[in-house]
Amino acid sequence: MTEPNWVITSVVGAVIGVLVVPFYRVLLYPFRRLRRHPLGGLWYSYSYSFIDGRLHLRHGTFHVRSGVLQRYVVSRENFGRYPPPTFGPAPPPLRYRGTVYEEHDHYVMVFQGRTHTETLVYRFVNRIPSNAGIIPGIWLAYDHDLNPAAGTAIISREPLAAETVTSLLRSWVVFEKGAFHIRKTPARHAPKQPAESAQGEAENHEDY
């Protein structure tokens, strides 16, 4: 009786090992869909980014759902300046698709641009157990001047006025000698409750 070829055996074993995990995840997918995670669903996102050397408030949406091969997947649309310009047509949104990971009580979202070439990373504090409607975090990518950039961001279950967004973004961040991090609790001057879901009339740019 001839011995099995070790090369063929190794290849077959590797292929089976690669296929077992995706097949297992596919089988569990319907159950994950039925057991909705509190992070799932629609979120409104807000952050600052530089455009022509000036800092502008921008807004978009996140949609988190269960994935087939990944535990969670997320799609994102960036709609541009917030509040939107009064005159002229709105620019087409920038669209992204990515995955969500849990790491050290954080949610890490890694996106790839669908309408353009960009890798975008968000890291949000996990405040889901407190049923928080607003979650702070940071983003890392490049700004609209194509410079490497990072900044604070928040996602909210409800739309927020521009003045509320500006106050919240500042209340969660701590700057120290060229570095920054996100507070575990907001500063005392932060608004305790989100303002009504109206679009504020405040200026949407600041010089830093």
pLDDT in tens, the chain (208 residues): 455 555 555 544 444 444 444 544 544 445 445 556 778 889 999 999 998 889 899 999 999 988 666 678 899 999 988 988 877 787 889 999 999 988 988 999 999 999 999 999 999 988 665 556 889 999 999 988 899 999 999 999 999 999 999 999 988 888 888 888 888 777 765 555 444 333 333 334 333 3
The answer to whether 156 and 134 are in contact (CB under 8 A) is: yes
22/55 same-domain check: no
* Whole-structure pTM value: 0.72
Q: How far apart are CA 88 and CA 86, in angstroms?
A: 7
When divided into structural domains, the chain yields a total of 2
93/179 same-domain check: yes
Domain that holds residue 54: 41-206
101/116 same-domain check: yes
171/139 same-domain check: yes
The answer to whether 109 and 100 are in contact (CB under 8 A) is: yes
In degrees rounded to 5, what are phi and psi of residue 26? -65, -40
Q: What is the pLDDT of residue 90?
A: 78
28/107 same-domain check: no
86/185 same-domain check: yes
Q: What is the pLDDT of residue 203?
A: 39
142/69 same-domain check: yes
Q: How far apart are CA 42 and CA 36, in angstroms?
A: 13
Q: What is the pLDDT of residue 128?
A: 63
129/50 same-domain check: yes
